Amino acid sequence: MSSPILRVESLVKRFGGLLALGGVDLAVEAGEFRAIIGPNGAGKSTFFNALTGLLRPDSGRVTFEGRDITGEPPHRVARRGVARTFQITSVFPDLNALENVRIALLAHARRSWSLWPRAGALGVERAHELLALVGLAASAAKPAGTLAHGDQKRLELAIALAGEPRLLLLDEPTAGMAAQERLEAIRLVHRIARELGLSCVFTEHDMAVVFAVATRITVMHQGRVLAEGTPAEVRARPEVQQVYLGEAA
């Protein structure tokens, strides 16, 4: 039993009187495709924010590849090999798609501190590769802000991959897409993750998407883990059905 790539122990986060995360435990094995589901307000985005250092947890521990990364700022967490996408697409709207990925590559290559050499053609080739990988080869020259919603999500993925992460955290990767698009999108992510040997944790509302690709599911409710297991196991649990699956998907 190999040690998990990501282990979260008793993660707690309060906002004033509100207990957003009430002691979350999670262990993700390498190569997993883990889905986190739960109603709105269950704390999924807060969880990602606390994992990646955007929020400082009040208590608890986060271990990535055996290293304690609790409370480390986002840029440190990213350097460790954790990449994240955002629920509300977060790209560089005025730059074209190629430039978006190039920035990420420059950052990953630690060139952001090069003050003298010209940026010139650094990373252009690799950026094209990544765009092709996510299916955006044709849109390389388009300003990111003008891309269709689904394409922006793909771009986010390419940006995330530029950092050569070993763990992908995807916050609602299919938000805002039509049903058919969603399955395509998640299957793309799944395929890429398998090809590159990445572990992946993603939050999702659409059950069809979840059951299509997830290897394990964690159910969150009111800041705590309600249930966890394989899709079949989770589907069968009555408390899960009551809280979440009972509601209209």
Partner 1 sequence: MKSRHAAPLVAAAALLALPFGLTEFWIFIAVEVLAFALYAVSFNVLLGYGGMLSFGHAAFFGVGGYTAALVVKQSGLPPVLAVACLPLAAMFVSAAAALVIGFFSVRRAGIYFAMLTFAFQMLLYTIALKATPLTGGDDGLTGLKPPGPLAQPLAYYYFALAMTAAGLHVLHRVVSSPFGYTLRAIRANALRVQYLGINVRAHRLAAFVVSGAFAGLAGAIFALSNGNVFPEWLNWTASATPVVMAVLGGTASFLGPALGAAVYVVLEVLISGRTEYWPLAMGIIIVIIVLLMPEGLTGLWRTGIVRRGARAAPLPTREAR
| Interface residues toward partner 1, by CB under 8 A | 52, 54, 73-76, 78-79, 83-84, 86, 90-96, 98-99, 102-104, 106-108, 111-119, 122, 143, 159, 162-163
Q: Which amino acid is at 111?
A: R
What DSSP state is assigned to residue 54? Answer: S
Angle between helices 97-108 and 124-133 (to 10 degrees): 120
The residue assigned the tokens 């994240």 is 84
Which of 76, 194 has the CB closer to partner 1?
76
**From the CB of 144, what's the least distance to partner 1, in Å?**
9
Tell how strand 18-28 and strand 6-15 pair up.
antiparallel
Assign 168 to helix, strand or coil.
strand
Q: Which is nearer to partner 1, 124 or 245 (CB)?
A: 124
Q: Which is nearer to partner 1, 108 or 182 (CB)?
A: 108
For residue 102, the minimal CB distance to partner 1 (Å) is 8
Q: How far is the CB of 25 from partner 1 (least distance, A)?
A: 25
CB 102 within 8 A of CB 127: yes
- CB closer to partner 1 out of 3 and 90: 90
DSSP per-residue codes, 186-226: HHHHHHHHHHHT-EEEEE-S-HHHHHHH-SEEEEEETTEEE
Choose between 138 and 208: whose C-beta lies nearer to partner 1.
Answer: 138
- The four Cα atoms 155, 133, 108, 80 give a dihedral, to 10 degrees, of 90
Shortest Cβ 165–partner 1 spacing (Å): 10
Minimum Å gap between C-beta 183 and partner 1 is 26
Which is closer to partner 1, CB of 73 or CB of 242?
Answer: 73
The Cα 4–Cα 67 span in angstroms is 11
Least spacing, CB of residue 111 vs partner 1, in Å: 4
